[in-house]
Amino acid sequence: MEQAASASPPVAGRIVLASGNAGKLRELAALLAPRGFQLVLQSELGIEAPEETGSTFEENALLKARHAARLSGLPALADDSGIEVDALDGRPGVWSARYAGESATDLENLELMLAELAAVSDARRTARYRCVIALVRSADDPAPLLGSGVWEGHIASFPRGSGGFGYDPIFLPLGQEGRSAAEMSAQDKNAVSHRARALQHLLAQLP
Ligand code: IMP
């Protein structure tokens, strides 16, 4: 795996976000604007996402960032994330979006997880969201920056709440007194999520 550099030359101005997700753009742009960065979605530049062929979050984040930088000619930021469930030996991990099949919906993924955990006691339903964010100055940047973040919690026995996406209705974050991530406001979630922590970790490495 590639190592993050400790001292990269500065990146400034426009950065392409290797995603078509406007929600992610809003979340990340709010944190990046005070640092003088303007994010533009790769989908707005007509760039399609590459196949995520990596077996780690780092590999997938890097391959997405390099792909967006290659096709846009701009510095690029990409995130890769997923959920790890201890009673499932860390699954679904990098395969979280495809847990119930290649084009599975959020609901199908969540229902499969509840079914797989049906016989698992509350105490053993520990889990965490994990996110890695990669920043490259160019497609062949030899010194990409990587930031990582985790958000610890438990898997509930039934879904609740209508906010967020993915596994949020069954993810009970530590310290939220039984509130699911889908019952948190976007602002509360963005303050503590794995993605926010990964970005803070990355920003702390910028010169
Ligand atoms: P990606 O990083 O956009 O490829 O997302 C991977 C998958 O992980 C998503 O499709 C969700 O299933 C799951 N995931 C990642 N972050 C979150 C989150 O904040 N809430 C709920 N599910 C998430």
pLDDT of residue 15 exceeding 60, the answer is: yes
Q: Would you put residue 35 in left (φ > 0), alpha (ψ -120 to 50) or beta?
A: alpha
Mean pLDDT of the chain: 92
Distance CA(15)–CA(119), nearest Å, equals: 46
Give distance in angstroms: CA of 96 to centre of ligand 1: 7
Give distance in angstroms: CA of 97 to centre of ligand 1: 6
The structural architecture, per CATH, of the domain 13-203 is Alpha-Beta Complex (3.90)
Site to probe by mutation for ligand 1, drawn from 96, 113, 133, 179 as the one with most ligand atoms within 8 Å of Cβ, is 96
Backbone dihedral angles phi then psi of residue 139, each to the nearest 5 degrees? -60, -35
Report the predicted TM-score, pTM, of the whole model to 2 decimal places.
0.91
Amino acid at 34: P
pLDDT of residue 8 exceeding 60, the answer is: no
- Give the number of other Cβ atoms within 10 Å of residue 6's Cβ: 8
Distance CA(19)–CA(42), nearest Å, equals: 6
Look up tokens 């922590």; give the residue: 197
Average pLDDT rounded to a whole number, residues 39-61: 95
Residues with CB under 6 A from ligand 1: 79-83, 96-97, 109, 129, 164-168, 193
Average pLDDT rounded to a whole number, residues 11-23: 84
Distance CA(71)–CA(83), nearest Å, equals: 30
Q: Are 68 and 18 in contact (CB under 8 A)?
A: yes
Which residue's CA is the closest to the ligand 1 atom numbered 23?
A: 166
Q: What pLDDT score does 24 carry?
A: 79
- Specify whether 89 is catalytic: no
For residue range 53-102, what is the model confidence (pLDDT) as tens digits? 999 999 999 999 999 999 999 999 999 999 999 999 999 999 999 999 99
Which residue's CA is the closest to the ligand 1 atom numbered 9?
A: 97
Among 65-69, 156-160, 198-202, 203-207, the range scoring the smallest mean pLDDT is 203-207
